[in-house]
Structure 1
Amino acid sequence: MTPRTPARFADSRHEDRRRTFPALQPLEGEDFASSWWGNAWVEALEDTALDRNRLTRGRAYARRGHVDAITVTPGRVMAYVHGTRPRPYRTEIRLRTLTDGDWGDFLATAAARPDHIAALLDKDVPHALASVADLLPTPGDLIPDCSCPDDGYPCKHAAALCYQTARLLDEDPFVLFLMRGRGEREILADLSHRNATRSAAERTGAASGTPVPTVPASEALAARPLPPLPPPFAPPAHPGRPPAYPQTPGAPDPLALDLLATEAAARAHTLLTTGTDPVAQLTQWQDAVRLAAAHPGSGLTASTRALYRDLAVATDHTPTDLARAVAAWRQGGLAALAVLEEPWDPPAGPFDRARPALIAADFPHFRPWRNHLSTRSLQLRFGRDGLWYGYESDPDREDWWPRGTPDADPVGALTALLGR
């Protein structure tokens, strides 16, 4: 006979798997999401849409607060959306729920690392966890349905519901987990159980190991020649990871704290392993370029856009100036940044031999200016380090951007620039 689930537990789980959120206030001048998972939700909607005009109208509906209270259950998001008619439309977004096996993989991965559990408690989703069980929707994974007569895919009402849902996800990623089939209390209870089981197993393993050798106190305190100190531990291969910082009212920005902690760890690791501080000799501008170059995205995500904006303002530059300098830094570090910013007159020698070499390789149209060799859209710059650096621009625009890999041979640098 199959055991029955206690009624109280069944009711609790039912309540945990259904959440209703009051209608959100109108939104002015902001993105619908700033978290990477919230933006992934928006991208899945926009990549699926067959009509960009309906998306535009859906964004306008969402911004003006046309979406009533939103109810989220496993595999479904539902709300009434006001359109041009007096009576609102019943609108739904459906998506696939995860299997028990998928949830098992996700929870096992999360429980294996305390920093993952801490991140979830802070309403953050580590990228590594999201990829374990395909939590994030992909194009075609969101299926809209609406009682309106519009047969668009999606209609503007479904688009509005999707955009407002992104705001919910931004505030609480457990809304995404609920869409995929599990409630917040259920997930946290499972993680707590797995963590306790893991800790008990570790304690049992430690208790059953070899006893720790001891030394009598009289022997330890007796006068005797002391042995030499052991050699210092080898430095770690990589800097440590910073902790997960909470979003607390009145506290510093968690992104700024994470950035400072990561920078301090990287500088300390370099100083420990090389004996030199890689940042001490940099100017404020050079250090700002280095900081921006260390973060992927080139200003495309919300967090890196904010970083680029703040660093540019602090150094009296524009975000475009910073983006160009970051491209140079990634091309070759401090030497490449100097090539971008400091034209100079090279002595006779390698620079004079470059044009004949390019002509011999069927690149005859380069014209010289100081340490530059240029065509209408390609340019090579000779650095003080003896390397050639590639640049590209739209024809006749003089808007040069670093590209390719530096090379001691101008033909090699040009070949890398052209991708041959």
Structure 2
Amino acid sequence: MPDAPDPYWWRDAEPARPRRVEGGIQINSARGKVARTWWSGRFLAVLEEVVVGGRLARGKTYARAGQILSLDVDAGGAVAQVQGSRPKPYAVRVGIPAYGKAEWAEITGYLAEDASYAAALLGGEMPRGIEDVFARAGLALFPAGPRDLVMDCTCPDVAVPCKHLAAVFYVLAERFDADPFQMLALRGRDRETLLDELRERRAAAAPAAPGAGSLEDVMDAYFTAGPGLGQRLAGPPTPSDALLDQLPEFPVAVRGAPLTEVLRPAYRALGTGSES
């Protein structure tokens, strides 16, 4: 005879309402769409279209209620603790392949070719053409399909994603709004490392200025006038006693002669000595 159904099956089922959380991580969007930037919107659109279908919306209530206790993003994925209706929070993991040094070297090389990419990233923006940059390297920035995403949750829900996973996706999207480097961090490159590499590549590719050299190499010619400059600056010779003609008349005379005329021979003699 088949086993009789367990009359207490409902004890193992999760109640509809989650336990209330104080100080949890919640999204700012109270209604409507969550993403504010094109890149976080693209992230959610990819999930909805090619990864999880229409089940993503199940997590909005959890995300808005602040049921996520913790969320850490690192190369290769994100891990979170989500409070459901049971006493123990559920452990949630979202995995995405992280690229290695060789792959990121190729991506960074393409990014360095256009200064607008680095400028956008420095300004807290994800460049519009960044997906094309990844595609040139044969890679993808956003999840490329179901095989590009791993989703785990310790809850008893058999649906994937469950509402706990979906809630994490919405919080991730809002984090990407505020910091696009979080999206790049999932793929294996943090902000400081990427920007340092971009600066180095841009500096190495910049052409040297004509005649550039060390300060020591140019010191001898630093104050040298250019061709013809000395001739252009030179004016008519000034008599050495011209200063005496600019002085006011002195009421003092020496043996009946004005003081300026007494001094004039001396000024002329000094002028003649400086020219020799």
- Same fold by TM (over 0.5)? yes
Give 2:172's match in structure 1, choosing from 165, 168, 171: 165
Cα distance in 1, alignment partners of residues 186 and 232 from structure 2: 62
- How far is the alpha carbon of 1:27 from its aligned partner? 3.4
Asked if the contact 1:27–1:65 (Cα under 8 Å) also holds between the matched residues in 2, the reply is no
CA contact (8 A) 1:58 1:157 kept: yes
Q: Deviations over 1:9-67 (max 9, x none)?
A: xxxxxxxxxxxxx8245531253211111011111221245563x43321111111111
Query: Which amino acid letter does the alignment assign opposite residue 138 of structure 1?
Result: A
SS in 2 for 1:178: helix
Query: Secondary structure of the residue that 2:208 maps to in structure 1?
Result: helix
Partner residue of 1:111? 112
Unaligned runs of 5+ in 1: 1-21, 209-213, 222-420
TM-score normalized by the length of structure 1 = 0.42
1:148 is matched with: 155
Paired amino acid for 1:34: R
Matched residue, 1:309: none
Do the aligned partners of 1:75 and 1:97 also contact (CA within 8 Å) in 2? yes
Could you tell me how far apart the structure 2 residues matched to 1:215 and 1:172 are?
55
Task: Name the structure 1 match of 2:121.
Answer: 120
What is the identity percentage for the equivalent residue pairs of Structure 1 and Structure 2? 31
User: What does 1:63-142 align with in structure 2 at a 5 Å threshold?
Assistant: 63-133=64-134, 134-140=140-146, 141-142=148-149
Displacement of 1:218: 8.8
Query: The residue matched to 1:29 in structure 2 has which SS?
Result: coil
1:412 is matched with none
* SS state at 1:135 partner: coil
Larger of the two Rg values belongs to structure: 2
For structure 2, which runs of at least 5 residues remain unmatched after alignment?
Answer: 1-23, 135-139, 213-225, 234-276
CA contact (8 A) 2:68 2:83 kept: yes
Superposed CA offset, 1:249-300 (max 9, x none): xxxxxxxxxxxxxxxxxxxxxxxxxxxxxxxxxxxxxxxxxxxxxxxxxxxx
- Report the counterpart of residue 35 of structure 1 in structure 2: 37
Tell me which of 186, 203, 206 is aligned to 2:208: 203
Q: Deviations over 1:100-134 (max 9, x none)?
A: 33311221122222222111011111122232122
CA contact (8 A) 2:26 2:67 kept: no
Structure with higher RCO (Cα < 8 A, 6+ apart): 2
- Shift in CA distance, 99/217, structure 1 to aligned 2, threshold 3 Å: same
**8 A Cα contact 2:25 2:63, kept in partner:** no
For 1:5, the equivalent position in structure 2 comes to none
Mapping 1:294-305, distance limit 5 Å? none
* Partner SS, residue 127 of structure 1: coil
Report the Cα distance in structure 1 between the residues aligned to 2:66 and 2:28, rounded to whole angstroms: 5
Q: 1:97 to 1:50 in 2, by over 3 A?
A: closer
Shift of 1:187: 1.1
SS at match of 1:118: helix
> Of 157, 163, 175, which aligns to 2:182?
175
- Change over 3 Å in CA distance of 1:156–1:115 after alignment to 2: same
Structure 2 residue aligned with 1:331: none
CA distance in 2, matches of 1:192, 1:50: 38
Question: Is the 1:26–1:64 Cα contact (8 Å) retained in structure 2?
Answer: no
Do the aligned residues in 2 keep the contact of 1:26 with 1:63 (CA within 8 Å)? yes
DSSP 3-state at the match of 1:43: helix
Query: Is the 1:49–1:154 Cα contact (8 Å) retained in structure 2?
Result: no
Distance 2:112 2:194 in 1: 11
Aligned partner (choices 172, 184, 187) of residue 191 of structure 2: 184
